[in-house]
């Protein structure tokens, strides 16, 4: 890790009441001392106690740049475990860029994306799952995603990973002890005990892997495509789910020619709603392209909301569509339920009656979505078990290795093989929390962070 003092603007660029410029490193306080002047006092920041805030001005040479508050945070009780200085200045492109430029001229280096958090990890303040939770917290789009990230930031997942890794290392140590003393056979009761611990590890890993989809949905949102024939009420449904008139609604068929994506939160779950062009045969080239994009959206969706008009009889295309996507997560939305029904929706699978005109049935539809994906919701006790795709890959690797070691013990294979598989499992779990990691892995994780974090 570079020992340079790094600096970045930690707040989004743009006009705002306040912006924050952050530095971290051994020279952070000394560098700010070069450009900061106290009001009515002759002293230096290096003389100030840690965790104190000071009022003054930032200067570029003789030119006063801005009136600021400077927070001094001395190692090790800081975010990075290094000396940290945060300058709270007036928001705006020009002011923050001038202050940043002053600090770069004084000798600081512009931070890379996620470098502050990377230093916190490398200095032992947090592990890798907690570092990832920082990014999850920043990007959280719902209350549940925020709670999940907060739990992981507190170390809930880390503790479970560490406990499982310690148990496997204990088993490995037992096996290696018998390898060192080959004349002493492992007692049958010891074999049974070790096997039982391996079985419990396999079961626990399996339960963790099962949370991967839920974690993915909470992090990025459930991609939900709204499809159906023209004038079934797709755009009206989108507007009801968003609580605003986002899509154009018209009695004229074929109004929607392209896909429209909008974010919303449903029962605490982040969702990406995609309104699509009506599915029908047409000679209009623009509408054909919209329909082609509709089917592209269907293929990549997590959920299909198939909107059907209650007031009209079902047509063959409705039934064919339902059959084609019978194995996908799908809810049939029987719209215009305030009118006399002309259709038998049982042919299409699970369905929910709604009226986009009156809003009736919308809450029932939201409940069906929640039930379909999260089985009644995610509570705080299960938030800590929400893994991401990187964790999932390493847990699969660990699970295969533990299963192989269990089979080797049961078949009385060489203890060297058992030990080899256990080492693979221990390493895989270690990579989750960062006890074993590579520069490439760290670069990939922290490159997804914003500057200043």
CB-based contact 256:247 (threshold 8 Å): yes
**pLDDT-based confidence at 283, cuts 50/70/90?**
low
Query: Residue 333 half-sphere exposure, CB side, CA atoms within 13 Å?
Result: 36
The total number of structural domains in the chain stands at 3
pLDDT digits (tens, 9 = 90+) for 248-259: 444 444 444 446
What are the helix (H) ranges across 18-142? 28-33, 93-106, 115-122, 128-139
CATH classification of the domain holding 393: 1.20.120.430
**What is the C-alpha separation between 169 and 172, in angstroms, rounded?**
5
- Which of 73, 93, 126 is the last residue in one of the domains? 126
- Which of 94, 126, 158 is the last residue in one of the domains? 126
Question: Looking at the domain assignment, is residue 381 inside a domain?
Answer: no
pLDDT at residue 435 above 90? no
Domain carrying residue 227: 220-374
CB-based contact 155:118 (threshold 8 Å): no
Are 257 and 283 found together in one domain? yes
Are 106 and 135 found together in one domain? no
* pLDDT (0 to 100) of residue 15: 83
pLDDT at residue 8 above 60? yes
Are 398 and 357 found together in one domain? no
CB-based contact 348:310 (threshold 8 Å): no
* pLDDT (0 to 100) of residue 187: 67
Are 79 and 144 found together in one domain? no
Are 142 and 161 found together in one domain? yes
The string over 370-397, giving b where at least 16 C-beta atoms fall within 10 Å of a residue's C-beta and e elsewhere, is beebbeeebeeeebbbbbbebbbbbbeb
* pLDDT (0 to 100) of residue 385: 61
Average the pLDDT over each of 305-314, 323-332, 336-345, 380-389 and give the range with the smallest value: 380-389
- Which of 107, 126, 145 is the last residue in one of the domains? 126
Question: Looking at the domain assignment, is residue 341 inside a domain?
Answer: yes
**pLDDT-based confidence at 381, cuts 50/70/90?**
very low
pLDDT at residue 220 above 50? yes
**What is the C-alpha separation between 84 and 73, in angstroms, rounded?**
5
Are 171 and 192 found together in one domain? yes
Question: What is the pLDDT of the chain when averaged over all its residues?
Answer: 84
Are 232 and 362 found together in one domain? yes
**What is the C-alpha separation between 449 and 31, in angstroms, rounded?**
25
Are 136 and 162 found together in one domain? yes
Are 83 and 154 found together in one domain? no
Are 15 and 70 found together in one domain? yes
CATH classification of the domain holding 119: 3.30.1360.120
Are 186 and 239 found together in one domain? no
Question: Looking at the domain assignment, is residue 452 inside a domain?
Answer: no
* pLDDT (0 to 100) of residue 139: 82
């Amino acid at each position: 890790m570079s020992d340079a003092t790094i600096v970045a603007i930690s707040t989004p660029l743009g006009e705002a009441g306040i912006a924050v410029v952050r530095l971290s490193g051994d020279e952070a306080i000394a560098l700010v001392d070069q450009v900061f002047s106290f009001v009515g006092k002759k002293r230096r920041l290096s003389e100030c106690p840690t965790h104190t805030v000071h009022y003054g001005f930032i200067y570029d040479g003789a030119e006063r740049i801005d009136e600021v508050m400077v927070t001094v945070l001395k190692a090790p009780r800081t975010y990075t475990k290094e000396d940290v200085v945060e300058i709270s200045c007036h928001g705006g492109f020009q002011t923050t860029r001038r202050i940043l430029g002053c600090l770069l001229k004084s000798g600081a280096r512009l931070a890379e994306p996620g470098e502050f958090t990377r230093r916190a990890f490398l200095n032992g303040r947090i592990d890798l799952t907690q570092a990832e939770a920082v990014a999850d917290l920043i990007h959280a789009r719902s209350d549940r995603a925020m709670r999940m990230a907060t739990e992981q930031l507190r170390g809930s997942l880390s503790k479970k990973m560490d406990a499982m890794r310690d148990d496997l290392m204990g088993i490995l140590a037992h096996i290696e002890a018998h390898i060192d003393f080959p004349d002493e056979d492992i007692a049958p009761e010891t074999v049974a005990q070790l096997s039982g611990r391996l079985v419990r590890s396999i079961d626990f890993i399996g339960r963790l892997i099962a949370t991967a989809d839920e974690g993915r949905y909470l992090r990025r949102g459930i991609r939900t495509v709204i499809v159906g024939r023209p004038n079934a009420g797709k755009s009206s449904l989108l507007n009801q789910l968003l609580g605003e008139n986002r899509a154009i609604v018209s009695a004229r068929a074929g109004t929607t020619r392209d896909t429209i994506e909008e974010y919303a939160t449903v029962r605490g779950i982040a969702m990406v709603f995609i309104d699509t062009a009506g599915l029908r045969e047409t000679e209009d080239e623009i509408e054909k392209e919209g329909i082609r994009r509709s089917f592209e959206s269907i293929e990549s969706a997590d959920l299909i909301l198939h909107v059907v008009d209650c007031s009209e009889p079902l047509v063959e295309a409705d039934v064919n569509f339902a059959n084609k996507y019978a194995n996908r997560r799908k809810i049939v939305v029987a719209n215009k339920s305030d009118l006399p029904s002309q259709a038998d929706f049982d042919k299409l699978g699970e369905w929910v009656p709604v009226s986009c005109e009156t809003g009736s049935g919308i809450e029932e539809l939201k409940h069906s979505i929640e039930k379909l994906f999260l089985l009644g919701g995610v509570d705080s006790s299960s938030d800590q078990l929400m893994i991401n795709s990187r964790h999932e890959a390493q847990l699969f690797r660990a699970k295969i290795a533990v299963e192989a070691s269990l089979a080797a013990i049961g078949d009385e294979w060489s203890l060297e093989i058992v030990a080899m598989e256990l080492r693979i499992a221990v390493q895989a779990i270690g990579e989750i929390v960062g006890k074993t990691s590579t520069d490439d892995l760290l670069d990939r994780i922290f490159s997804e962070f914003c500057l200043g974090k």
